Structure 1
Amino acid sequence: MRRTFPTSLVTATLLCLVSTTAFAQQSVAFPESVLTEETTTTGQYYLDAFEKVSFYESCGMSCGDIAPSCGGYCTSAACDCFYCRDKCGGDFGGHRSCLKDCGITVEGAFTQFYQGPSSGGNKEVFRYGDKLDVFVIMDTGKMGLWEGGQIDIHAVDWQMGQNAIVDATGLAPVNTAMLLPKVGEPTFATTSLQYTQMLGGGHLVTAGRINMLDLWATFYPEYGRGIDGFMNTSMMLPLNVIPSLPLVTNGAGIIKAGERGIERALLVFESQSSPTTVGMDFPNGVTIVGTVRKYTDFMCQPGSHTLIGVYATGEYTSYDTSGWIVVPGNGVTPASKQGTWAAAYLAQQQLWADPCNPARKVSMFGYIGFSDPDNSPFQFTTSISIEKFGPFASRPNDRCGIGYFYNGLNSDFQNTVSLIAPIDDLHGGEVYYNAEIVKWFHLTTDLQVIQPGLVANDTAVVLGLRGELEF
């Protein structure tokens, strides 16, 4: 079958590559005072050390922040060049920094995906989709209101195009970012509007509309909601929290934070997911989440161990078919069970760090989770992965990873689904490489090999390409 590559993603990538190369070939004008008579064989000037540092500081850069695409020099013009910016939009004519000084930070990303099973899975088809995210963070102290308050808004959560989640295997989503706002259809929503107030001593209270993927990124910011690292949800978080923990809902809680991050939390949510609707009516009880995190130093390298417990008070479908009612002419009425639970242990450990650049490191992450056998499709889930940030000294802003996951299904769930088609446990692996083209555009190649749940399906080999543009 012939595969068609998305024109817009190719165009964006080629534009970045060609334009960056062209800019690197441009001559850069320097004041005579910073040039010495000595030159290299390639004609590159040496700069006086003192004035060199002065130029860097005037640009808001350190000496290690030279961008090769800017000719290897730091000047006022080079620091403001289109391809050297941290964000595609730069400072938006001074408006971004002005807003930040006033306590309002605006960040966004436009991410494109081209992904699908090259063989196996439910359907061998490649699909193209987009995700637009805009975040607004408000500091009430800097805004002149009151101290210690912060408002986090996932103002734009816009899913466009298609995704390959169902084409591969739905019980191990191959694209985490495209789970929200809704799977399988273009949707727009504001999925987070959360207020947090510091109480002192590291304690804070939070309340509002909460996006669980954003909340997860608060605990483990390096994972980036499936935008920067692994794409498969099973590589990032335990799926056994289904159905007890909704992805977007209203809630409140108290959190204890320390110098290295969140240490304890107790949160209460509505038990229903409402990504595109608002309101608090608690139609199916509440979900209570408690977590404790212990930070450690093993062999002089930082790590952490986290316990998470979830209990939901509502009614959920029971997969034990012995309680189902068969009504002649009206089909089957499934039984329900009051309350459900889930629990998980997560560990993260840094294995190595470059003494000259601590951002270059190797980190290991793993988890194991269990859930209520009556209500959850999963009996247990587990995963282990290793990622390297800055895999090469010459590529400090790249990252790559490899990992394996296993999603064990409940026997009752298997028996229920097997009435239609035989189903078994899922397991698979993922490997990716995220390359920095310019500071504000990253291109990721991704490979996933998954043994799908449906016994009749062949092993799914899922290829993916992800382009993230930060603005």
Structure 2
Amino acid sequence: MSKTFPASLLATTFLFFASSAAVGQQVAFPESAFGQETSTPGQQYQAAVDQVSYYDDCGMSCGDVAPSCGDCCAATAHDSLWCRDKFAGDAGGHRSCLAASGITVEGAFTQFYQGPSSGGNKEVFRYGAKLDLFVNMDTGKLGLWEGGQLTMHAVDWQLGQNAILDATGLAPVNNAMLLPKLGEPAFAMTSLQYTQAVGGGYLVTGGRINMLDLWATFYPEYGRGIDGFMNLSMMVPMNVTPGLPLVTNGAGIIKAGERGVEAALLVFESQQSPTTVGLDFPNGVTIIGAARKYTDFMCQPGSHTLLGIYSTGEYTSFDTSGWAVVPGNGVVPAVKQGTWTAMYLGQQQLWADACNPKRKTSLFGYIGFSDPDNTPFQFTSSISIEKFGPFACRENDRAGIGYFYNGLNSDFQDTVSIVAPIGDLHGGEVYYNAEIVPWFHLTTDVQVIKPGLIANDTAVVLGLRGELEF
């Protein structure tokens, strides 16, 4: 593979996104929700032309509807295997019956085939899979009390292998395969969280919390590496290491508004416990504070978030001047009490189809800073652009392109360089997620990363991801 190919691919894809934001507004296909049940794509199209009269606050009109974008399932029974939203459909009526009683069950089986085609630590492709099962219970619908919600990541099962350490460990190339344990098959219930509304938009929450699931609460479009970008650095500032465990116990209060989470104050154990249960605070606590402001820029929604993390525990200091040599025990690193992280996250919708809200273009980015004494990362940043419904006839596809930079603390670099010289990491990612049928999506993914180990060549990581929702 030519070494210039990934760069040209990134540039070409970026031009596609930039130009498509200004393309005329069209819908993927009209649906019966526009006003009447229709049985053929042509009838649906005419019904939409006759009845659509969408205008938003900025005066944009729906415009022309693409007559060539009919729904292939329009004339097919709604419970057809190829047209249902989930592989199991309504499961003989059980899914809808449970939902009416306050219990929803969602699951996905996601397979990955990924690896460095060149560069990185090891040029090898690996197959892995992830089985996720979520169960949510609404206490009001269950006839208990109003305002309660029990959320469970009841099954978090990692199978096979992943290419995270083959590429470069300081910029994980597969977010979804980080849990329950990195580098080995594992099974766990990684979330058992109860949330209670207490009025005024405030919620109290507590339990066992999966941070990637919590992240999806703040930014539901970005998910957990299942639908969009696969590299963790594209979505989450790596500065959260080591103070914020991915799975731990905690509690807090959240302020929610009409557009989502507006503020939060949460307290967690500082230890990582994906496959164990306990509440013993062996290394202090981690405190998270977040404030989010929702905006409308050029009549498009956006948000700006400030987030701070402070951990009270003891962490290894990378300043070797404080390390000691103990006879018989070798070198004993110094420790520092407490560590902190501060970050800003911004999200802005750039364009939306006035006829079809599923089709839009969004911009997302962050910058993060952290304690220079005991965190590997001093400064991290990312910028990405994603297109939901990139083509009028492919409203359930999505595509993205982005760049990240992970700057390492100088003391951390000096310490690790005793074994092997390392430097800052940066790279880009391009993906296209295609809907094959409503319940199965196939993603092609390319990542180009300058690795931390200076001796390694630039890693070109290719990946396939297949997600089956059941």
Q: TM-score, normalised by structure 1?
A: 0.86
* Pairwise CA distance, 1:326: 1.2
* CA distances 1:119-163 after superposition (whole Å, capped 9, x unpaired): 000000000000000000000000000000000000000000000
Give the RMSD, CA atoms, in angstroms: 2.1
Q: Which residue in the other structure is 2:75 paired with?
A: 73
Q: Secondary structure at the match of 1:225?
A: coil
Asked if structure 2 preserves the Cα contact closer than 8 Å seen for 1:84 and 1:439, the reply is yes
Q: Secondary structure at the match of 1:223?
A: coil
Structure 1 residues 295 and 199, CA gap change in structure 2 (3 angstroms): same
Q: Which residue in the other structure is 1:280 paired with?
A: 279
Amino acid at match of 2:141: K
Amino acid at match of 1:341: W
* CA distances 1:419-445 after superposition (whole Å, capped 9, x unpaired): 000000000000000000000000000
* CA distances 1:223-252 after superposition (whole Å, capped 9, x unpaired): 110000000000001010100111000000
* CA distances 1:44-76 after superposition (whole Å, capped 9, x unpaired): 9869989xx9xxxxxxxxxx9x97443x415xx
Alignment of 1:126-275 (within 5 A): 126-275=125-274
Instruction: Write the distance in 2 (CA, Å) between the matches of 1:297 and 1:45.
Output: 37
Q: Does 1:414 align with 2:421?
A: no
Q: Which residue in the other structure is 1:116 paired with?
A: 115
* Pairwise CA distance, 1:343: 0.6
* CA distances 1:165-192 after superposition (whole Å, capped 9, x unpaired): 0000000000000000000000000000
Amino acid at match of 2:308: G
Q: Which residue in the other structure is 1:61 paired with?
A: none
Q: Does 1:391 align with 2:393?
A: no
Asked if structure 2 preserves the Cα contact closer than 8 Å seen for 1:67 and 1:73, the reply is no
Q: Which residue in the other structure is 2:55 paired with?
A: none
Asked if structure 2 preserves the Cα contact closer than 8 Å seen for 1:67 and 1:84, the reply is no
Structure 1 residues 46 and 363, CA gap change in structure 2 (3 angstroms): closer
Q: Which residue in the other structure is 1:103 paired with?
A: 102
Asked if structure 1 preserves the Cα contact closer than 8 Å seen for 2:113 and 2:126, the reply is yes
Amino acid at match of 1:143: L
Q: Secondary structure at the match of 2:152?
A: strand
Q: Secondary structure at the match of 1:214?
A: helix
For structure 2, list consecutive stretches of 5 or more residues without a partner in the other structure: 2-36, 51-66
Q: Secondary structure at the match of 1:79?
A: coil
Instruction: Write the distance in 2 (CA, Å) between the matches of 1:353 and 1:461.
Output: 33
Q: Secondary structure at the match of 1:172?
A: coil
Asked if structure 1 preserves the Cα contact closer than 8 Å seen for 2:256 and 2:263, the reply is yes
Asked if structure 2 preserves the Cα contact closer than 8 Å seen for 1:363 and 1:386, the reply is yes
Instruction: Write the distance in 2 (CA, Å) between the matches of 1:195 and 1:81.
Output: 36
Amino acid at match of 1:431: V
Instruction: Write the distance in 2 (CA, Å) between the matches of 1:295 and 1:139.
Output: 27
Alignment of 1:336-375 (within 5 A): 336-375=335-374
Q: Does 1:318 align with 2:317?
A: yes
Q: Secondary structure at the match of 1:222?
A: coil
Amino acid at match of 1:153: M
Paired-residue identity, %: 80
Structure 1 residues 118 and 281, CA gap change in structure 2 (3 angstroms): same
Instruction: Write the distance in 2 (CA, Å) between the matches of 1:35 and 1:228.
Output: 31
Amino acid at match of 2:134: F
Q: Secondary structure at the match of 2:358?
A: strand
Instruction: Write the distance in 2 (CA, Å) between the matches of 1:246 and 1:182.
Output: 12
Q: Does 1:377 align with 2:379?
A: no
* Pairwise CA distance, 1:330: 2.4
Asked if structure 2 preserves the Cα contact closer than 8 Å seen for 1:69 and 1:83, the reply is no
Q: Secondary structure at the match of 2:99?
A: helix
Instruction: Write the distance in 2 (CA, Å) between the matches of 1:69 and 1:326.
Output: 71
Instruction: Write the distance in 2 (CA, Å) between the matches of 1:300 and 1:35.
Output: 33
Structure 1 residues 343 and 46, CA gap change in structure 2 (3 angstroms): closer
* Pairwise CA distance, 1:359: 1.3
Alignment of 1:27-66 (within 5 A): none
Instruction: Write the distance in 1 (CA, Å) between the matches of 2:239 and 2:250.
Output: 20
Structure 1 residues 49 and 304, CA gap change in structure 2 (3 angstroms): closer
Structure 1 residues 412 and 98, CA gap change in structure 2 (3 angstroms): same
Asked if structure 1 preserves the Cα contact closer than 8 Å seen for 2:45 and 2:70, the reply is no
Instruction: Write the distance in 2 (CA, Å) between the matches of 1:335 and 1:96.
Output: 55
Instruction: Write the distance in 2 (CA, Å) between the matches of 1:158 and 1:140.
Output: 27
Instruction: Write the distance in 2 (CA, Å) between the matches of 1:45 and 1:416.
Output: 67
Amino acid at match of 2:232: T
Amino acid at match of 2:163: A
Moved over 4 A (4+): 44-50, 66-69
Q: Secondary structure at the match of 1:250?
A: strand
Amino acid at match of 2:191: S
Q: Which residue in the other structure is 1:125 paired with?
A: 124
For structure 1, list consecutive stretches of 5 or more residues without a partner in the other structure: 2-33, 54-63
Structure 1 residues 144 and 253, CA gap change in structure 2 (3 angstroms): same
Asked if structure 2 preserves the Cα contact closer than 8 Å seen for 1:121 and 1:460, the reply is yes
Amino acid at match of 2:98: L
Q: Which residue in the other structure is 1:307 paired with?
A: 306
